Amino acid sequence: MKIEVVSTGTPPTQGLWVSNHLSYLDVMVLASVSPTTFLSKAEVKSWPIVGWFVDFAGTLYIRRESKRDLVRLQTAFTEVWDQGSLLTLFPEGTTTNGEECLPFHPSLLQPACQQGQSVTPVHLRYECRGGDVSEDVHFWRDMTFLPHLMRLLCVANIRAEVRMGIPRETRGQDRKKLAATLHQDVESLKQEATRNDAFRSL
């Protein structure tokens, strides 16, 4: 995919990783930095190409409108953590163009709070040459997959930055307060990335 990945900070090996969400590329980029199990919305499983990839990677799926799914996932999360593995989710619940990080949904943080799993915030951003990053790399609004993929494959070079923050301890914490704190952490990482001279336009 011609993606250069630049990472800053120490990648976690277990617990929970929470990130802003810009594109289906986020899965490949984060997986290149640290082995992890992802949580994805259920409809991604039916997408061409990407659906096969994320399913093959052992992704967990959620129907956000189903409270029963949230209960089921608590058990699935526990199984991942019992194996000493890292779990990654995108608590915005959707992708954006990167200009604004949407509020984090707190419900999926509850298992981490109950089990005292540390949570590491991470901020993603992309730059590209030979294309428009907002239209050809970010996958958001009402974009459809195959036309976007065709545009993406025409982009000459893509650079992804993965900027990791300090892990947060969760045991006994209120999930809503934790969601707000992690959102602030990701916003702070975004500001750091903006000031980072090492990540210049291609």
Q: What is the mean pLDDT of residues 132-156?
A: 93
Beta-ladder partners of 62 = 41
Domain residue limits, the chain: 3-194
Whether the per-residue pLDDT at 175 is higher than 90: the answer is yes
Residue 10: how many CB atoms within 10 A of its CB? Answer: 12
How far is Cα 66 from Cα 63, in angstroms, rounded to an integer? 6
Span 67-91, pLDDT tens digits: 777 778 888 999 999 999 999 999 9
pTM: 0.89
C-beta separation of 184 from 177 below 8 A: no
- The percentage of the chain sitting over the pLDDT mark of 90, rounded to a whole number, equals 69
How far is Cα 146 from Cα 158, in angstroms, rounded to an integer? 18
CA nearest neighbour of 163 among 4, 11, 34: 11
CA nearest neighbour of 27 among 160, 164, 136: 160
Span 28-54, pLDDT tens digits: 899 999 999 999 888 888 877 778 877
